[in-house]
Structure 1
Amino acid sequence: MDHPIESGADGALPHADYRCGLVALAGRPNVGKSTLLNALIGFRLSIVSPRPQTTRHRILGIASSEAGQILYVDTPGLHRGAKRAMNRSLNRAARAAISDVDLVVQVIEAGRWTDEDEALYAALTEQKAPRLLVINKVDLSKDKAALLPFVATLSEQHDYDEIHYVSALKKKGLAELERAILARLPVRAPVYGEDEITDRSERFLAAEMVREQLMLRLDQELPYATTVEIEQFSDRPDGVAEIHAVIWVERDGQKAIVIGQGGAQLKAIGSAARRHMERLFERKVFLKLWVKVREGWVDDEAMLKKFGYTD
């Protein structure tokens, strides 16, 4: 992944102890990395759903304060036994993201440590960057005392600079985590303006918001056979953003499900995505959706590249 620090600011520090650096949020699928990113930057940037593999791309979220600028990288979750080209691509993207940062935050679920968590930890130990452990979803633990032996065992067997307990959903424990992150970043001038929240384009974010609705509204495995491509994004003279998007699926039967009876499902997906876009883009949006079939796109390296799934 390109290191945004290399693009450089003008070198002027707002004050002598101002800090800036890249921080990877890493973890197995569905531990709450995207919810944590959104909570840390105070903005709903990264799409969220209860399903694994919601995050498929590197998302940079920028949090600026008087103390410094933290460039959070929300990474795809690492998958074990990745048999399809899509999963292998996500794993490559996740590993690339953690190889070029100033700090890594490994996120796990309270009370759970799986083989995937262990595999990620092993990958982190190959990097020189310091690492923090964030135990997320502590609000779901009925018996907080039961976490103590769990954390004690983790501490004995794994080497972290610090361990933090948070609830990304409830926004608990975030201030302490942010202070710990800033303390480990280099003294460096800010890279982005204080009002910027991401390096991603509106075009990219529009595709993600359509895909979020697919993840939320479609049953079980179907969302993993879909992706979204923006064919047109333009601002009309009346100030409306006109967006044409294609939802790609693998089979005709999947196309029928996405469209729904009388087009009801596709209309609901489009309406919800459009409302999110209008809030994020701060202008009216005209959204047109199509559903097209491309057999085996999930295993087609050329198609994955076309859809933006790169390292």
Structure 2
Amino acid sequence: MTDDLHLQTDIFEPSESLIPAAPPGFKSGFVGIIGRPNVGKSTLMNQLVGQKIAITSPVAQTTRNRLQGILTTPEAQIIFVDTPGIHKPHHQLGQVLVKNAQIAIESVDVVLFVVDGSVEVGGGDRYVTDLLLQAKTPVILGINKADQQPADAQAIDQSYAELAGAHEWTMVKFSALTGTGLDTLQTTLTEQLEPGPYYYPPNLVTDQPERFIMGELIREQILLLTREEVPHSVAIAIDRVDEEPEITRILATIHVERDSQKGIIIGKGGSMLKAIGSAARQQIQKLVMGKVYLELFVKVQPKWRQSRTRLAEFGYRVET
């Protein structure tokens, strides 16, 4: 693995040699990507930073940790904070996720409120709006999924125009999937930021450790391949990473809550676990830019989402 790759994906101690002085007029700041579940927040951040660092899935509630993606241009450095979809929590994990999203609203410089532009404003969007109004953070309303709008989208566009107008929010329409409109979004975000320094080296795209990204890529394949059979009762622990000259060897454990979920993940004759491992290995190889040997184990941890101790072990803590 090269030193350049570590700069892209690993945690480091900032130093003057890594972080240059910002030129005159340079802007920087933190942008919280907020919205209800499954509106495309993670896809958007991946597009903006130009690299896959957040997992995406057709299943709602895929984002758990507050993941920071970093976009550096000649004019600005934008640090995106991707948050869990805001929803009514049903368990301890859900409470942690929503609490972290609420904290993000208060702690960033600008909120990018992402909505699903293929449908009109709904109750979930109004719930998020109420949370945003409790804070004084500037808001940009991002209308995602422009590529999925029906031929006659006048009523949809009008519903969001009214929402933005009522609160004097700037509105930008785009497609995170195709990239259409993202240049305008990037310009709009930059305009909202204040002059500031580089917070991270210009070539860094995330502040998350490489092991975290590996675990997320494994969890993504579980969500994609098992769909509704195994919902969000899954946590990934990267037990060991051995970097050899020709190959990176990774041992990881998939934690589930019930024996039935373990059976689904393993599959008949181990077929599902093999499929998950094969697909995850291909994604991780892109991350490390080399060959990967991935060995997966499955372990039952009953009710881990209800346990503060287990949540902490798997890295899910309320942000401070």
Partner of 1:280: 287
SS of match in other structure, 2:62: coil
CA distance in 2, matches of 1:148, 1:213: 34
1:233 to 236, 241, 250: 241
1:32 to 36, 40, 65: 40
2:104 to 67, 77, 97: 97
The Cα offsets for residues 181-227 of structure 1, whole Å up to 9 and x where unpaired, read as 11111111111112111001111001000000011011315131111
Indicate how the Cα distance of structure 1 residues 224 and 291 shifts in structure 2: closer, same or farther if over 3 A, else same: same
CA distance in 1, matches of 2:101, 2:289: 31
2:299 is equivalent to residue 259 of structure 1: no
Unpaired runs of 5+ residues, structure 1, are none
Q: TM (normalized to structure 2)?
A: 0.90
CA distance in 2, matches of 1:178, 1:152: 20
Checking the alignment, whether the CA contact within 8 Å between 2:141 and 2:164 is kept in structure 1 is no
How far is 1:16 from its partner?
1.4
Partner of 1:79: 87
Partner of 1:88: 95
Percent of aligned pairs with the same amino acid: 37
2:310 to 287, 303, 308: 303
How far is 1:290 from its partner?
0.3
1:175 to 158, 161, 183: 183
How far is 1:100 from its partner?
0.8
Mapping of residues 140-179 of structure 1, within 5 Å: 140-142=148-150, 143-160=152-169, 162-179=170-187
CA distance in 2, matches of 1:219, 1:13: 47
Task: State the one-letter code of the partner of 1:149.
Answer: Q
2:192 is equivalent to residue 200 of structure 1: no
Task: State the one-letter code of the partner of 2:114.
Answer: V
Indicate how the Cα distance of structure 1 residues 154 and 246 shifts in structure 2: closer, same or farther if over 3 A, else same: same
Partner of 1:63: 71
2:56 is equivalent to residue 48 of structure 1: yes
CA distance in 2, matches of 1:153, 1:207: 41
The Cα offsets for residues 144-165 of structure 1, whole Å up to 9 and x where unpaired, read as 33334223332343331x1001
CA distance in 2, matches of 1:104, 1:9: 29
Partner of 2:25: 17
2:128 is equivalent to residue 120 of structure 1: yes
Checking the alignment, whether the CA contact within 8 Å between 2:240 and 2:251 is kept in structure 1 is yes
CA distance in 2, matches of 1:112, 1:42: 29
Checking the alignment, whether the CA contact within 8 Å between 1:214 and 1:223 is kept in structure 2 is no
CA distance in 1, matches of 2:290, 2:179: 28
Indicate how the Cα distance of structure 1 residues 145 and 115 shifts in structure 2: closer, same or farther if over 3 A, else same: closer
Checking the alignment, whether the CA contact within 8 Å between 1:136 and 1:168 is kept in structure 2 is yes
1:224 to 224, 232, 238: 232
Indicate how the Cα distance of structure 1 residues 139 and 291 shifts in structure 2: closer, same or farther if over 3 A, else same: same
Task: State the one-letter code of the partner of 2:164.
Answer: S
Checking the alignment, whether the CA contact within 8 Å between 1:13 and 1:188 is kept in structure 2 is no
How many residue pairs get aligned? The number is: 303
Checking the alignment, whether the CA contact within 8 Å between 2:84 and 2:98 is kept in structure 1 is yes
Q: TM (normalized to structure 1)?
A: 0.92
The Cα offsets for residues 72-120 of structure 1, whole Å up to 9 and x where unpaired, read as 111111111x121111111111112221111000000113322222222
Stretches of 4+ moved more than 3 A in 1? Answer: 7-14, 155-159
CA distance in 1, matches of 2:246, 2:134: 50
